[in-house]
Structure 1
Amino acid sequence: MRERPVPLSPGALARQGVDRVLLDAVIALVREAGCLIAAEVVRPGGPRGAGDKAEIDGEVEVMLHQGLTKLLPCDFVGEETGVQLTGHHYCWVVDPNDGTRDFLQGHLGSAISVGLLRECVPVLGVVYAPMTERGADCVAWTEGMPHLLRNGALIVQNVAQGGLAEGAQVFVSLAARARPTQNAELCAPATFYAMPSVAYRLARVAAGDGIAAVSLYAVSPHDVVAGHALLRAGGGGLWNEQGQALGYATPATFNQPVGYCFGGGEIACQELMRRPWQIVLADRA
Structure 2
Amino acid sequence: MTATKFQLILSKVIAAVEQAGALLSQEFFRQGGPRGSGDKAVVDKIIEVQLRAELMEILPCDWWGEETGHQLSGNTLCWVVDPNDGTSDFLRGVMGSAVSVGLLRANEPVLGVVYAPVTPDGSDCVAWAHGLGHLLRNGLPVKIDLSKHQLSESKLVMVSSAAASKPKTNGDLCAPGDFYPMPSIAYRLARVAAGDGVCGVSLYPVSAHDVLAGHALLIGAKGVLVDEQGAGIRYQTEAGIHRVSNRCFGGAPSACAELWRRDWSKVYAKDAD
The TM-score by the shorter chain falls in which range?
A: over 0.9
| Identity rate, percent | 55
User: Partners of 2:27 and 2:149 in 1: how far apart?
Assistant: 40
Residues 121-270 of structure 1 aligned to structure 2 (within 5 Å): 121-159=108-146, 161-250=148-237, 253-254=240-241, 258-270=245-257
Partner of 2:8: 21
Question: Which 5+ residue runs of structure 1 have no aligned equivalent?
Answer: 1-14
Q: Displacement of 1:16 after TM fit?
A: 8.2
Aligned to 1:49: 36
CA distance in structure 2 between the partners assigned to 1:239 and 1:156 by the alignment: 22
Distance 1:60 1:257, change over 3 A: closer
Aligned residues: 270
Equivalent residue number for residue 272 of structure 1:
259
Structure 2 CA distance, aligned partners of 1:22 and 1:152?
14
For 1:75 and 1:25, locate their aligned partners in 2 and report how far apart those are by CA, in whole Å.
Answer: 18
After TM superposition, give the deviation of residue 196 of structure 1 in Å: 0.6
Quick one: distance in 1 between partners of 2:256 and 2:64? 27
Could you report, residue by residue, the CA deviation over 1:222-271 in whole angstroms, capped at 9, with x for unpaired residues?
Answer: 00000000000121111111111111113662599622110011110111
**Cα distance between partner residues in 1 of 2:163 and 2:141:** 32
Task: State the SS of the aligned residue for 2:230.
Answer: coil
Q: CA shift at 1:175, angstroms? A: 0.4
Secondary structure at 2:210 match in 1: helix
What one-letter code is carried by the residue in structure 1 that aligns with 2:57? Answer: K
* Cα shift readout 1:58-92 (whole Å, capped 9, x = no counterpart): 10000001110011000000000011000011000
1:35-46 to structure 2, matched below 5 A, reads: 35-46=22-33
Alpha-carbon separation, structure 2, partners of 1:101 and 1:84: 26
Structure 2 alignment gaps of length 5 or more: none
TM-score of the pair, normalised by structure 2:
0.95
CA distance in structure 1 between the partners assigned to 2:8 and 2:104 by the alignment = 17
| C-alpha contact (below 8 Å) 1:129/1:200 kept by paired residues | yes
CA-to-aligned-CA distance 1:164-210 (integer Å, 9 cap, x gap): 11110000000001110000000011000000100000000100100
Q: Where does residue 58 of structure 1 map in the other structure?
A: 45
Deviates more, 1:270-279 or 1:119-128: 270-279
Query: Matched residues in 1 for 2:26 and 2:242: separation?
Result: 37
Distance in 1 (alpha carbons) for counterparts of 2:84 and 2:219: 22
For the residue of structure 2 that corresponds to 1:58, the secondary structure is helix
Question: In the alignment, what sits opposite 1:104?
Answer: 91
Supply the distance in 2 between the matched residues of 1:107 and 1:47 (Cα, whole angstroms): 11
Aligned-partner Cα distance in 2 for 1:40–1:21: 31
How far apart, CA to CA, are the structure 2 residues paired with 1:267 and 1:46? 41
Q: CA 1:67 to 1:256, structure 2 compared with 1: closer, same or farther past 3 Å?
A: closer
Is the alpha carbon distance of 1:256 and 1:44 closer, same or farther for their aligned partners in structure 2, counting shifts above 3 Å? closer
Which residue does 2:56 correspond to in 1? Answer: 69
